[in-house]
Amino acid sequence: MTQFTAHDAKMMALAIRLAEKGQYTTSPNPNVGCVITDSQGHIIGQGWHKKAGTAHAEIHALAEAGEQANGATAYVTLEPCSHHGRTGPCAQALLNAGIKRVVAAMVDPNPLVAGNGLKKLNAAGVEVSSGLLENEAKRLNRGFIKRMTTGQPWVTVKLASSLDGKTALHNGLSQWITGPLARQDVQRHRARSCAILSGSGTVLADNPSLTVRHSELGFAMEDIAIDELRQPSRVLLDGRNQMHPDLHLFSLSSPIVLINSQLNSAEFPSHVEQYQAKSKGAQLDLQDVMQHLGQRGFNSVWVEAGAKLAGALLQNKLIDELILYQAPKLLGDKGRDLFAVDELTQMQQAFALQWSDVRHVGPDLKLTAYFT
């Protein structure tokens, strides 16, 4: 097993921080950072991947290092690519620059790479190793990893509830259960996602936009121009063909994928693309839906839906992560529930989760859990 030094770990931690800068702009590509050091351990080049179709992290770092890259060490959060895509292979660029050592946090799960980048470097005499801060690197690209290995995106379901687990009053009123800081946090999650998914019930009841309000993100976007920030695609599930072009969200220009059991004959705007999913009557095959979203290059899907769709995703085991914003309010036993699922009769049937994070967001709690 490769023995890494404290200096190696420090440089990789910096590369991961650089990679994080791309989380609002890089999809469907992964977030990648690179740091290059000379033989004395001094940083001579840094870079991060900013947007699909543009230079990768290694290319930015090599450009900054210039001729000093000859004989240097490159720390990269993801194995350098070895294939020609919209840009040239980074493994070859590192060889051309004279890099003598490459440390990767993880092997690229993309079948087009899958270890070939490191093999190419090693065959050319470069010292290669991987696995340094691997868990941190995997967390940063969990959606990309899942799509590459399963064909489906990472699915996060967001819910907001009162302390007694209600998402709305009996009459449907839900604005606002949580405070402004929780809603701002939701905007950040939306902005990092490839797609925002909702169902016809929620859309017809609330007539939402399902877009990111970039002015409300609440922090300075260093190194990113506001016009580089993308709007995630909006995915609408409409098994009964209830949606119509007059809904507010169709008037907004960001892409929409309208998924139904039979194509809707209404005249939607040109930015709306329909997909006829497998179904049983009006009941959409959610596995087919997620497979289709993966084929579209969506790494991560952020779900904002009512109890029925949330429950269907839960029962189909399609939720990777649950984020619940819980307000210190009580709405009473007549309020609406979080999930609509079939009745459970044994405690062993309960859906098990594992806590990932618990924190205050203003007066509210943000509870994050993964399904085991």
Question: CA distances (Å), 208 to each of 16, 194, 305, 322, in order?
Answer: 35, 18, 11, 21
90 is in an annotated binding site: yes
pLDDT for the residue 44: 97
213 is in an annotated binding site: yes
Domains of the chain as residue ranges with CATH: 6-141 (3.40.140.10), 151-371 (3.40.430.10)
Residues (pLDDT < 50) of the chain are none
60 is in an annotated binding site: no
| Known catalytic residue at 58 | yes
pLDDT for the residue 85: 62
Rounded distance between C-alpha atoms, residue 101 and residue 126, angstroms: 5
User: 58, 64, 79, 216: which one is catalytic?
Assistant: 58
Using DSSP's 3-state secondary structure scheme, residue 167 falls into strand
pLDDT for the residue 320: 97
- Specify whether the CB–CB gap between 254 and 273 falls below 8 A: no
310 is in an annotated binding site: yes
pLDDT for the residue 333: 78
- Tokens (6 digits) for 265: 């004959």
- Tokens (6 digits) for 236: 């609408």
Instruction: Supply φ then ψ for residue 60, to 5 degrees.
Output: -65, -45
191 is in an annotated binding site: no
- Specify whether the CB–CB gap between 237 and 259 falls below 8 A: yes
pTM of the model: 0.90
Name the one residue in this structure whose structure tokens are 């931690």.
13
Residue-wise burial string across 203-231, b where 16 or more C-beta atoms lie within 10 A, e elsewhere: beebeeebbbeeeebeeeeeeeeeeeebb
Using one digit for the tens of pLDDT, what is the confidence trace for 171-186? 766 678 899 999 999 9
94 is in an annotated binding site: no
Question: CA distances (Å), 91 to each of 14, 38, 50, 234, 339, in order?
Answer: 20, 18, 18, 35, 47
- Specify whether the CB–CB gap between 366 and 357 falls below 8 A: yes
Alpha helix locations (H) across 102-153?
Answer: 116-123, 134-140, 142-150
pLDDT for the residue 365: 95
Q: Which residues have CB under 8 Å from 190's CB, separation 6+?
A: 196, 211, 212, 232, 302
Residue 269, burial from CB neighbour count under 10 angstroms (0-12, 13-18, 19+): exposed
309 is in an annotated binding site: yes
pLDDT for the residue 224: 60
Residue-wise burial string across 327-357, b where 16 or more C-beta atoms lie within 10 A, e elsewhere: beeebeeebbebbebeeeeeeeeeeeeeeee
285 is in an annotated binding site: no
- Specify whether the CB–CB gap between 325 and 295 falls below 8 A: no
Using one digit for the tens of pLDDT, what is the confidence trace for 284-302? 999 999 999 999 999 999 9
pLDDT for the residue 225: 56
pLDDT for the residue 350: 85
